[in-house]
Amino acid sequence: MKSLIYYGPHDLRYGDSPKPKIRSGEVLLRIKSVGICGTDLHIYNGGMKNLPLPLIMGHEFSGVIEELARDVKNFKVGDRVIAEHVINCGKCSYCLSGKPNLCANSRIIGVHRPGALAEYLAVPADLVYKIPAKLSFEEGAMIEPLSIAYYAVKQAHDLLGRKVAVIGQGPIGLLVDQILHDAGAEVIGIDIADWRLKLAKKKKWADHTINSSQKTWLKKIQKIAPEGVDTVFEVVGREETAEMAIEIARRDGDVFILGVFESAASLNMMNIVKKELNVFGSWTCAFSFPPSIALAVAKKVDLKSLITNRYDVKDGALAFKESASYKGKRIKTVINF
Ligand SMILES: [Zn+2]
Ligand SMILES: [Zn+2]
């Protein structure tokens, strides 16, 4: 089958790989759309060690069921589907206590085993969800990032009428904006790229937007929220933005950290101590696919507007090269089959 194969840093080639065979409990998907995310680019840039090379990446995907193992009953050939990409052990204390996203024995599709940047992918049927015809395959591939945003926002409470800042207006940040907006929060979108802020404002996902590269950024926030912001979502993963999060939060405010940090951050801890901040981490997602599909079907979130760049799988290497350059007005890149 045709695949996009990763051999090492910046070495991605369109070529042939063996078509996967399904085992019991699995379905074979014919892939339709795959989103490229930060994790994929991190791998592409050589940032992840101990990978099984060559590797087929791709963990945000949609497709059609091509074949099912005999013991799979709840799907049929031709079903339009998406799937979660984390295979948990189901046995550890985290899996058994309702936090499977913290499973210490998880295997990730597109990282530890072949992913969706290929014509076919075999996945355990219990990770698979049907999507209605109302959702395009591209939108289907966006459910995974949506579920990350959904899971983080779900941890916050009392959002109605609250002033909530979202630091970072990338794909996940813009999805966090939208879910918060739907929940009745007053959303303050923060980023350093004006064009992203403009989009958030134009689409009414954010009520206020602030460019934090400008000197007056803090004054602007203080004008909107004189006592500080009720809740902050950090969706960048850098020291400056983590510091910003604990700086703008009000006393007894909530701070959710979703950003994936590539290095340690040194913070003014007295902000946390003296303001009695409630700081939470939010890691991937759990039980978030069905509600995320529901949000998308009900048009409570606009996934389409986030897809800015599309490539045919044949041009997959170019898609990665251009995405990794972070040039241009790119939000989400999707590879289609
Ligand atoms: Zn991802
Ligand atoms: Zn587990």
Please tell me the distance between residue 243's alpha carbon and the centre of ligand 1 in angstroms.
25
Domain contains 157: yes
Q: What pLDDT, on the 0 to 100 scale, is given for residue 33?
A: 98
Q: Quick one: pLDDT band at residue 258, thresholds 50, 70, 90?
A: very high
137 and 197 belong to one structural domain = no
**Which ligand is the nearest neighbour of the Cα of 87?**
2
* Sign of torsion over alpha carbons 280, 215, 203, 142: negative
Please tell me the distance between residue 173's alpha carbon and the centre of ligand 1 in angstroms.
13
In sequence order, what E strands does 249-306 have?
249-257, 278-281
12 and 52 belong to one structural domain = yes
Domain count, the chain: 2
pLDDT > 90: percent of the chain: 97
Is-contact 264 242, C-beta < 8 A? no
**Which ligand is the nearest neighbour of the Cα of 94?**
2
As separate numbers, helices (DSSP H) first and strands (DSSP E) second, the chain gives 11, 17
Domain contains 296: no
10 and 108 belong to one structural domain = yes
CATH number of residue 201's parent domain: 3.40.50.720
What does the pLDDT look like over 136-160, one tens digit per residue? 999 999 999 999 999 999 999 889 9
157 and 204 belong to one structural domain = yes
* Sign of torsion over alpha carbons 257, 323, 321, 148: positive
164 and 244 belong to one structural domain = yes
Domain contains 318: yes
CATH number of residue 15's parent domain: 3.90.180.10
15 and 112 belong to one structural domain = yes
Instruction: For the full predicted model, state whether its pTM sits above 0.95.
Output: yes
112 and 41 belong to one structural domain = yes
What does the pLDDT look like over 76-95, one tens digit per residue? 999 999 999 999 999 999 99
Q: Rounded to an integer, what distance in angstroms lies between the CA atom of residue 20 and that of residue 17?
A: 9
Please tell me the distance between residue 94's alpha carbon and the centre of ligand 2 in angstroms.
6
Residues spanned by the domain of 184: 147-281
Please tell me the distance between residue 95's alpha carbon and the centre of ligand 2 in angstroms.
4
Domain contains 111: yes
**Which ligand is the nearest neighbour of the Cα of 260?**
1
Q: Quick one: pLDDT band at residue 327, thresholds 50, 70, 90?
A: confident
> DSSP letters of 154-207?
HT----TT-EEEEE--SHHHHHHHHHHHHTT-EEEEEES-HHHHHHHHHTTS-S
Domain contains 286: no
Is-contact 247 188, C-beta < 8 A? no
Domain contains 114: yes
Is-contact 206 182, C-beta < 8 A? no
